[in-house]
Each structure stands twice: as structure tokens, then as C-alpha cells.
Chain A
Amino acid sequence: MTTNTEITRSGLWSNNVALVQLLGLCPLLAVTSTLVNGIGLGIATLITLVLSNTIVSLIRGFVRNEVRLPVFVLIIASVVTIIELTMKAMFYDLYLVLGIFIPLIVTNCAIIGRAEGFASRNPVLPSALDGLMMGLGFLLVLALLGALREIIGFGTLFAHAEIMFGEAAGSLTIVFNEDYPGFLLAILPPGAFFGLAFLIVGKNWLDLHPRAKGVAVEAIAEGR
């Protein structure tokens, strides 16, 4: 019915959570002030999406129509809490970094959107893949927006990467210009709106110009 290629394309491009569905904007706009923050929230959301999609798909046979939404909410809330507790117990240092993002995931309507729109009517494997690809598409936009705002706002890239990826990653930080005065607007919430708007314009432009799009899709496919 729905092939894996279609699910992948839909998640990464044609039905991208952030650029097309415009879901999950609250966490998206709030934390993408740097690339590392964007990746952090992206990873946490990705894990939640895969798990919640898988569970919702597993129970789709029994769930009664009238109560399906509250049941999905219950599942998502439980999954997020369990992820938070497990992370606190096993990866405390990572929790200290990503911890602030985790409660934000609950405010992400993309997760219940995928539970209702996809996982509740598809088998487990495609649902898990849908969660993975939607999560990946969201992660890519978060990373792109974070990078954009960090470059314009701070003149750096990968700042504080060591917090998330260990000491070795500290050297990843790129400083473009030592004397860069910073551009506050890009870091503040309006910068997030402008940045997202430009990303949407970019995507729509690529869709209208098929030749350029072919190049972009190939680039994404190779990057994966």
C-alpha cells in the first residue's frame, strides 16, 4: 500500500513535519538558537516518535474509536516520562544536556499527529519507519535552522558540541570571525520565525523548480 520509499520521501521532504505540516513549532522555534540545541531536541523527538508510533500501531486493532485520542495521549505521556527517567538513570550527563528539551516533546503535536494519521491505521514496521523518517525530517530542519541562526546570530557553528558528543567534539566548533559582533535578532524568537520562513520558501522554490530539486533530493539521499 504505502511503500517504504514513499514513507521515507514523505517524512524527509514532501510531508516534512516542520516545513509542510508546520507541526511542533513551539519546541522548534524555542530551542533552535544553536545547531547543537537543535540536534539535541531532534534526537529526543525522533526516539519518542519511533516508540509512540510503534506502540500505537501495535494496539491499533483493539483501540476503540471513541477513546483513541486520550489513549494516544496516555501512551505518549508515558513514553516521554519513561524516556526521561531512563535517561536520568543511565545517561545522567546526557540528561543534564537534553533534559530541558524532553518536557517540550509533549508539546509537539507532530507526535500525536503521526499516531492518529499514520500509526493507527498501518502495520508496525511501516509505522516505526514513518516515525523514524518523520523524526529525521524534523531533526534535519531543526539542525538547519539551528545552524542558520547560530551562524547569523553568533558567527559560530557547532558551539558547545562537547556537551553532547563528549570532549573530543569540542574542537568541532567553528568560529567564522573572532570580532563578529553578533546579530541578536537571529537568536531571539523573531529570528526563528524568519529563519523558518526562509527554509519554507527554499523548499517551495525547489518544488517549483524540478531540476534543482532533483539535485537537492540526491544530496539528501546521499547524505543519508
Chain B
Amino acid sequence: MAKNKIMHKRQILLSGLFLWLFAVAGTSLVTVTEQTTRESILENERRVLLRNLHALLPEHRMDNDIANDTRRVTASALLGTEKDSTIYRARYQGEPVAVVFNSIAPNGYSGKIHLLIGIYLDGSIAGVRVIKHAETPGLGDGIEVRKSDWIRSFDDNSLASPQPDRWRVKRDGGVFDQFTGATITPRAVVAAVKNTLLYYRQNADNIFQPDS
């Protein structure tokens, strides 16, 4: 009986040890992979960031290293951010040309929609791109530029045109299209773009100052 008990304990210990070994092996493998891939993942993310920034602002309008001409801005309800976020500044021969915000539409159909919003110095939209979202495939994901041209409908708009109360989807009496079967997603994006324009108007003076 006592011997059985000892045997039993041994079994449990062995099983535990075995499980532990696999946990260590699995975690090590993931860690090694993470470390060997970290550099190229960062490089890839940077490449895509640059590609996105250049998609918003034509390259001939700026001559600075926009991915590094950044400034941190504090969290703001208008930008939808809960933490500091980065803005990118485009200049031509040292003169400010445009600014790109990392904005968040907090009220998408499936959570936050992360946006890059480029605004020219005069307050008109250079371009908007969705960089991360979890909207329904086939319905809400028409906000992606590769799925539809809808996101380009913001280009050249500003708070002066259309009028602020027309910055809505058509169903709500505005000028922007919604998608068949999906109103919530475009509604969230339209509001986020409008709010970012408002933020720009309120903070235009500080935006091109050096980072403090």
C-alpha cells in the first residue's frame, strides 16, 4: 500500500516534469523565433509604414524623411487615442507641407479601427488609410483601399467643404456613402476623420514645433 503510494507520487512527479519540459521547449522555440525574426518584422513594419505614408502624400510634395520627422502627441478624445500617439510631418525645403495622424475610430462594428489620416497645411485631407481593423470580412472591410475606393472619398475634403454637419454617412443626412449592409463601420470612420480635422484646427500651431 505504502509502496503503491510512493509509486503513484513518482508517476505524478514524472508527468509534471514531462509537462514542464515541453513548456520550456515550446517557450524556448517561440522565444528563439521571436528574437531571430524581430529585426525583419520591425523592418517590414517600417517599410509598410513608409509605403502607407507615401500613399497619403505624393512624394514630390515633400523632401524630408517623414518616418523620422515625428512628434508625440498626448491622448485626445478627438484622435480617439488613449495613450500618446505619433504624428508624422512632411516638409518641403524645410517648410511644413502636411501632417499625418495615427487616429482611432473607437466605435467600429468590431472594436477599434486604426487610421492614418494625412492633412495638408490648409486643413484639407491629403488621404486616409485604414491600417488595422477587425470589421466583418465582405461587409465592413470595404474601408480598406484594396477592397474599395470608398476611403478615397475623403480626399481634398475639409471642414469647410462639406459643411461640418454634412460630415456624416448619407443615411444620417451626410455626403459620404455607406456600404450595403454596413453603416456602422463607415459612420465610425467618417466621425474619426472629422474629429481629426477638428483636432488639427485646434492644434495647428503646435504641430510643426520640435518635439519637446
Contacts and interface: CB of A to CB of B under 8 A. Distances in A.
A37 B138 contact: yes
A78 interface: yes
Contacts of B34: 85
Interface string B110-149: 0000000000000000000000001011110000001100
A152 to B, nearest CB: 12
Contacts of A96: 48
From DSSP, what is the main secondary structure of chain B's interface residues? helix
A82 B40 contact: no
A154 interface: yes
A153 B19 contact: no
Contacts of B14: 64
Contacts, number: 81
A74 interface: yes
A150 B22 CA distance: 43
Interface residues of B, number: 31
B181 interface: yes
B19 A90 contact: no
Contacts of A90: 40
A63 B15 CA distance: 9
A67 B12 CA distance: 10
Interface residues on chain A, size class = 35 or more
Given A88-B41, A89-B41, A153-B138, A64 B146 contact: no
A191 B53 CA distance: 38
Contacts of A184: 180-181
Contacts of A74: 22-23, 26
A62 B22 CA distance: 11
Interface string A74-93: 11011001100110111010
A67 B15 contact: yes
B33 interface: yes
A187 interface: yes
A86 B180 contact: no
Contacts of B26: 74-75, 77-78
Contacts of B7: none
B44 A34 contact: no
Contacts of B36: 89
B29 interface: yes
A67 B19 contact: yes
A188 B134 CA distance: 15
B22, B34, B44, most chain A CB atoms within 10 A: B22
Interface of A: 31, 33-34, 37, 62-64, 66-67, 70-71, 74-75, 77-78, 81-82, 85-86, 88-90, 92, 96, 100, 150, 153-154, 160, 162-163, 181-182, 184, 187-188
Given A71-B18, A78-B30, 9 more contacts: A33-B138, A37-B137, A64-B14, A67-B18, A70-B19, A75-B22, A82-B30, A85-B41, A100-B134
18 contacts: A33-B136, A33-B139, A64-B14, A67-B16, A70-B19, A71-B19, A74-B22, A81-B30, A82-B29, A85-B37, A88-B41, A88-B44, A89-B44, A92-B48, A96-B48, A182-B180, A187-B136, A188-B139
